[in-house]
Each structure stands twice: as C-alpha cells, then as structure tokens.
Structure 1
Amino acid sequence: MFIPFEKMPDYARVWVYQTDKNLSDAEFIYVQETLEAQVNQWAAHGVPLVGSVKIFHNRFIVVAVDEVQNQASGCSIDASTRWLKELGAEMNLNFFDRSIAFIHEDAIQSVEMLKIKAMVAEGIIHPETLIFNNLVANIGDFKNTWQVSAAQSWMKRYFQNTTV
C-alpha cells in the first residue's frame, strides 16, 4: 500500500538509488508514477507492505517500507530492485550508479571513487562540500545524514592535513 513519503515514520527502512544523470521532467513523472504503482502492489509473502517512493533532486529514488506494519522479505526487496532494473532498461537509465554524488557550483556532480583524491587536491571537493550518503538505513537517517559535509563523512581522511 502506497502512502506519501512525508507520512512515513522515521524508523521506516529505506533504499536510495542514484541515477547516472538528472531525470528530465517527463522522466521524473514517468518514474514516480510507475514506482508508486509498484509500491501500491508491493507485498511480502502475499501480505501488503506499507511503503513509499520519492525522487529527490531529479536524481535519487528513495524507496521506503514501514516494517512495523509488515517486514520486507528477501523476495520483496528483490522485487523492488527488479522494478528499477526493468525501468532502467526500458528508459535507458542506470538507477544503480555507484559514483560519489556531491554538490559543486549549485549542481549535483558525481565522481568515480578512484578520482576523489585528485578532486580534493584540485579543490573541487573540500571539507564543506556536501556529499550524499546513499547508505542511510531509515528515513530518520535520511533526513539527518543523507547530505553531509565531506569532512563529516567517510571522506574526512582526505582532509586530515587541512583545517576543518
């Protein structure tokens, strides 16, 4: 059963998927409507799940489930992954981009993990740069630690010789 993301409890479990480019307005609408329909039919062992989906910054798809209502099973989690794989194939999009997303010059950029050190050296990524932590576990963490400064994240090791 789909409910609006804003009505999901902070303890609701989340999965954050990152696209390899910003969605156009038409893509945004299509993805949101398609995934809302999927979440509305989402079930674990035949029992409906209470869930939500919302797109942030035209680039991040967040799927949530209230596991107090009913626990997501391995099969139901696999189903949600399959939705995004099928949608990505249909739309020629990659919803499983594993690059590091950050804000630079008021735009979301992404960089491969192996290039981070060079971007820090160039000053493109600095301690105050906002990065996206797509490994948050629940909506409360999403609200509080999804966007954090690089110095407050796992990237802090790159700034040990700088003043934060």
Structure 2
Amino acid sequence: MSSLPVGSHALLLIEDVPEDVKLIMSALNKIVPPEQIQVAASGEEGLDYLFGRGAFAGRDTRYQPALVMLDLSLPRIDGLEVLRQIRAEAQTRVLPVVIVSASSQQKDIRTAAQLGANSFVRKSLDFVSLSETLTLLARYWLELNIPPPHPSLMSR
C-alpha cells in the first residue's frame, strides 16, 4: 500500500461497538496498518471525518479513504443515513462503501443496495470466518480495485 498524505487514512471504519472494532482491527492488521485506519464511533463522527467538520475541521477532504466500512446500527445517525449522505455529495459519491453488519434482514440489504452500497457483508460470530472475510474484502478494495479519478478530475 502506498504512503498516504498526512491526516488521511486508507480505511474509515464506522463502528460503535468497541469489541467489534477490536475484532475488525485485528482481522485487518494483515492488510492495513492500524495507523492507516480511522475509527469513527458514530455515524455523525464518520460524516464529520469525511466532510472535514467538527473534530475534523481543517482536514484536507481532497484525500478520502480508499474504503469505508460501515455498520448499520449506529448512535445519532444510523448507517443507512450515513450512506445516503455520502452518496449525496460529489466528493464522496463514488467512495467505496461496504456495509458490515450483524443484520441479515432483506429490507436492510435492499435499502443499502438502493442507496449505493458497494457491498453488504454480514458479521460472522465466528472470528476465523469474520477475519477471512474482512481480509479478502480489504485486499480487494485496497489492493486490487482501481478507484475512479478524484471527483475534481471526473468532469474533464
């Protein structure tokens, strides 16, 4: 993985359950160094990071993460609303967003797809299975996927 500009991260994890954060970080450590992962404990904090607001005011939002992993059950602003707001803004519209959720409700899966989620992955209760899934997921989005050009270059 290439070096990142100061203040930017390869991955934004929006997850409010500390135990899940710990498990996900452990699963991803083969692919992404911990210092390249920004964790947001609420939907509001995740949006603040992406849009350079609140505690992240002044962050250079030209540098967005290569991947957002988003839980659905979040305090303040739920995951589907976070996804809706991400897709509503030109600077984040094509940002890869993967839902990583304990939900397997068809309504959640359908709504996430309609809002533009790139993928929906169910959190497994089995750590080995979850670890393998997240490793494959991160490897695909961070190593194999070719991202679109920066939004400021897309109209050229």
TM-score by length of 2: 0.24
Structure with higher helix content: 2
For the pair shown, the structure with the greater C-alpha radius of gyration is: 1
Structure with higher strand content: 1
TM-score by length of 1: 0.24
